[in-house]
Amino acid sequence: MSSLLTNESAMVALSTLRNINKNLASVQQEVSTGKTVSSARDNAAIWAVSTVMQSDVDGFQAISESLGLGSATVGVARSAAESITELLTEIKTLVVASQEENVDRAKIQADIDQLVGQIDTISASSQFNGLNLLVGTATSSFLASLNRAADGTVTASTIDVDAIDLTTATGLAAVAAIDVEADAAAALTSIETLIQVGIDAAAAFGSAQKRFDIQQEFVTTLMDAMKVGIGALTDADMEEASARLQSLQVQQQLGVQALAIANQQPQILLNLFR
């Protein structure tokens, strides 16, 4: 039955065209954003997971910076400890020379005193961003990781580094007491122990710095893996989107044409009354 009041064909064509336009808008958004899920409206569950993962990636970026700061701080302490060890080795050379009876021990002691003063200069100035690991014995903590539990609870993990006092006032107090004029033999025994203190400190800082470097490399790898995971959840397949876009554009043209044909039906009915 043909009716002037109800054009069923036009209604069907219009409904089809609306669906095509809706799908076309969705595909165009995928093409413009590069994402199938760009908001909670697209897929609330996937969007929630990807947002949490992205927040973790941003957090690990800050952790990477913290690890870089820690590595630099420990690196300064390690270099300083190595320099102090070299100075202690020089002092040992002078102490060994003082073991001879026919040497001027006063001049040797003067050289030793200068080297001892240099040890204090190095230990006092070996700070990075205000933190000196060669003064005192305090423990410094550096953020190393964020651990997320299954229930969503997040806890921080740190790398702790103990300061090793290499000042001549406390940690290397025995070096300031070396006096080859008074007792050259005792000085030789003392310097051997002090050199080992410097070696142990440099080795400890070296091991800590290596741990920072390993953790920083792991964090970088972890961030890359998480970004890949986020992309797998939210990124659009551009080849598929391109094919769908072309298909929907053709459907849109056909839908417009079908609607135009359906809208002509009432005009055709006029011929029945001529």
pLDDT in tens, 86-121: 999 999 999 999 888 888 889 999 999 999 999 999
Residue 84 main-chain phi, psi, to 5 deg: -65, -40
Which residue in 50, 225, 217, 227 sits closest to 144, CA to CA? 217
Predicted local confidence at residue 1, as pLDDT: 53
Which residue in 122, 86, 112, 94 sits closest to 198, CA to CA? 86
The H or E element spanning position 67 is helix 44-97
Which residue in 230, 269, 218 sits closest to 48, CA to CA? 230
pTM, entire model: 0.75
**Residues in the chain, pLDDT under 70:** 1-7, 266, 268-274
Task: List the chain domain ranges.
Answer: 1-34+236-274, 43-234
Cα separation, 38 vs 104, whole angstroms = 82
Cα separation, 119 vs 134, whole angstroms = 11
Question: Under a CB-based contact definition with an 8 Å cutoff, are residues 153 and 142 in contact?
Answer: no
Question: Under a CB-based contact definition with an 8 Å cutoff, are residues 248 and 24 in contact?
Answer: yes
Place domain 43-234 in its CATH homologous superfamily. Answer: f41 fragment of flagellin, N-terminal domain (1.20.1330.10)
Cα separation, 255 vs 21, whole angstroms = 10
The H or E element spanning position 146 is strand 139-148
Predicted local confidence at residue 4, as pLDDT: 58
Q: Could you tell me what percentage of the chain is helix, strand and coil, using 3-state DSSP and rounding each to the nearest 5? A: 70, 10, 20
HSE (side-chain half, CA atoms, 13 Å) at 95: 26
Cα dihedral 226, 232, 236, 239, rounded to 10, equals 120
Question: Under a CB-based contact definition with an 8 Å cutoff, are residues 197 and 171 in contact?
Answer: yes
User: Residue 57 corresponds to which amino acid?
Assistant: V
Label residue 244 exposed, middle or buried (CB < 10 Å: 0-12, 13-18, 19+): middle
